[in-house]
Amino acid sequence: MSVVIETQDLTKVYKGMSKAQDLVALNKLNIQVNEGEIFGYLGPNGSGKTTTIKLLLSLIFPTGGKMKIMGNANITSPEVRKNIGYLPEGAYYPDFLRGEEILSYYGSLYGMRGASLKKRIDEVLEVVGMTRARKRLIRGYSKGMRQRIGLAQALLSDPGILILDEPTTGLDPVARKEIRDLLIQLRDQGKSLLISSHELLEVELISDRVGILFEGVLQTSGTIDELLTSREFSIKAEEAAPEATQKVREAGLITEDAAAGRVSLRVPENMSLYQALDICKSQNMKIVSVSPRRETLEEVFVRVVGSAVSSKEAQRGER
Amino acid sequence: MSIWLASNPWLTVLYGVIVLAILAAVAWFTPWSIALFTFREGLRKKTLIGFLILSILVIFGSMFMTAMMYDTGGTVATDVDVKLIKDICITAISIFGVLIAIFISASVVPTEIENKVVYTVLSKPVRRFQYLLGKFVGVQIIVAVNLLLMGVLFSIALYIKEPIFPRMLLYAIFLTYFEFLIVSAFTFAVAAASTSAVLPTIAGLFIYITGNLTQYLESVVNRSEASESAVDKTLGGLAWVLRNTLPDLQYFSLKTQILSLQINDTPKDIQIPNLVVYGILYALAGYIIAYWVFRRKEL
């Protein structure tokens, strides 16, 4: 699997009036997006996600480091640009134009003309489900429809890479689901997607790999399975009397659910699975299942960002 | 008048070649879709429509004004009547035309940065110089179309009063375009460095006003040379810099000739091809400055 987007020690510093006022938006960022995958790019507000995207599109310029797109370091070359589709967050599309007119405008920027442009507009409108609304003025579009038109303009040149900044923000649940399905469909067609988002559940549902950014530093990255599979275990048991449940809790196991003699227990990282099983057996519980516990992306995100915040505060304290 | 604006047939030929080369380069490199998009979007700006309606009201209002003067006194001579229309209309075209040129030039790029349209355009295979060129050419189409519209209305207003071919007026409108081109180019250059339209609008008005006051600047320079005061010397130095860098927009004014000569006369003592080159070269300088500041602008 080849790498389509790659950054090496990418750094962006916004200069202030003095050195102390300099803002490090990105600090030696190393990310890779592979061909045919969805890379979820996560981080709280101001963590540097949009800065990374703007750097990749040369809308701003790096202070240090390197970027390659499809192995090409000249990321502004027309060949590279033709292979990138970009959907900015909250983009505006001139509302006096019709859906197909705005696509015609953007298509012309790729040098597309005449029948081939018209054919491509038909195709992308079909892909994003906007064929019926093509002749309507954009001012009459809902937020979801505007987002679809935004996706359509990003798809016009049939690019291999899609860079999407908050593609589902502000959409209702139905529109979110539709956009999500569309993104999976595009991935399945072989396109590579870099999706920046706050919507952790959305990202968890569609991403192959994820990177979590905080204050310009990539805190962690990996496949969804790597990130979400923790070292903790879950134990499900039956025939658990209330007193027994209380005892195992006192012994250090974490009760996640308890009802009608059934309990779900979490084994903390500082306890071995064997110890936990012995505790349950000693309380005459009937073990039904033992499984590695899978975290949610939200839990991973909160843990990673929380840890980054703590370590930063500790550094400040040392100073 | 500057030496290079003097009459010389060889210079005129040279200037012609320069103009053709520049126009050919612009035509070749301009992304016309961006220019036409800018034109279409510009025509929908409420401020522009407001200025245009005001100018139309003033142009036709001048006719009613003269008609009322007839009704009330009945002593106003026809040439005075026509002169009044000419005076009001040419002033209205200058003021509203330049306001439209400044407003549009000041707003097209900052507006696209603000609403992020620039992100979607520049993420496509469009170079920054092409983007700016497309926006600039789009602005020029708006300015030219507005000027043409006001000129046609002015001609109709005059023709109703004096049914002769308004040759002088056509020359005046043509030269006024080049005056607006210069103001527009420098406003555009400031806009390329800005994130809002306020600063470029102020800069555009400054260029228009100082560009029309170069004779006054000349007199400031002369007075400072005769004075011993340090303040006068400093002001004189500043006036000298402005005098020698800013364009002299008075070159493009045919107002005195329009008012004093017949409307079907040909303008006198004026080298139109040279003024065209003068306007285009200043506009080119404005565009180069715009590109220079925009090429590494963080968006």
- What confidence tens digit (pLDDT) does each residue in B253-296 have? 888 887 777 777 787 877 788 888 889 999 999 999 999 999 99
Q: What is the pLDDT of residue A81?
A: 93
Q: What is the pLDDT of residue B78?
A: 66
B8 within a domain of the structure (yes/no): no
Nearest CA in chain A to B298: A60
Q: What is the pLDDT of residue B3?
A: 43
Chain B hits for A163, CB-CB cut-off 8 Å, are: 123
B214 within a domain of the structure (yes/no): yes
Task: Give residue B47's pLDDT band: very low, low, confident or very high (50, 70, 90).
Answer: confident
Q: Give me the number of domains chain B comprises.
A: 1
Q: Which residue has the higher pLDDT, B53 or A318?
A: B53
- What confidence tens digit (pLDDT) does each residue in B104-116 have? 999 999 999 998 8
Q: Are the beta carbons of A277 and A290 closer than 8 angstroms?
A: yes
Tokens of A47: 């963590």
Count of other CB atoms within 10 angstroms of residue B266: 12
Taking the Cβ of residue A196 and every Cβ of chain B, the question of whether any pair is shorter than 8 Å is answered with no
Is pLDDT at A61 greater than 90 in this prediction?
yes
Instruction: Work out how many CB contacts closer than 8 A connect A with B.
Output: 66
Write out residues 269-298 of B within 8 Å (CB-CB) of A.
296, 298
Is pLDDT at A274 greater than 80 in this prediction?
yes
B20 within a domain of the structure (yes/no): no
Domain that holds residue B277: 27-295
Cβ <8 Å between B120 and A106: yes
Cβ <8 Å between A92 and B298: no
B197 within a domain of the structure (yes/no): yes
Cβ <8 Å between B119 and A59: yes
Q: Which of B148, B184, B181, B175 is nearest to B258 (CA)?
A: B175
How high does pLDDT run on average in chain A? Answer: 89
Closest partner residue to A109 (CB to CB) among B124, B296, B299 is B124
B13 within a domain of the structure (yes/no): no
H/E/C letters for each residue in chain A?
Answer: CCEEEEEEEEEEEECCCCHHHCEEEEEEECCEEECCCEEEEECCCCCCHHHHHHHHCCCCCCCEEEEEECCECCCCCHHHHHCEEEECCCCCCCCCCEHHHHHHHHHHHCCCCHHHHHHHHHHHHHHCCCHHHCCCEHHHCCHHHHHHHHHHHHHCCCCCEEEEECCCCCCCHHHHHHHHHHHHHHHHCCCEEEEEECCHHHHHHHCCEEEEEECCEEEEEEEHHHHHEEEEEEEEEECCCHHHHHHHHHCCCEEEEEECCEEEEEECCCCCHHHHHHHHHHCCCEEEEEEEEECCHHHHHHHHHHHHHHHHHHHHHHC
Write out residues 28-57 of B within 8 Å (CB-CB) of A.
31, 33-34, 37, 40-41, 44
- What confidence tens digit (pLDDT) does each residue in A152-197 have? 999 999 999 999 998 887 788 888 888 889 899 999 999 999 999 8
What pTM was computed for the model?
Answer: 0.83
Q: How far apart are CA B214 and CA B207, in angstroms?
A: 11
B266 within a domain of the structure (yes/no): yes
B18 within a domain of the structure (yes/no): no
Q: Which of B127, B230, B114 is nearest to A80 (CA)?
A: B127
Name which of A93-102, A234-243, B79-88, B129-138 the model is least confident about.
B79-88
B7 within a domain of the structure (yes/no): no
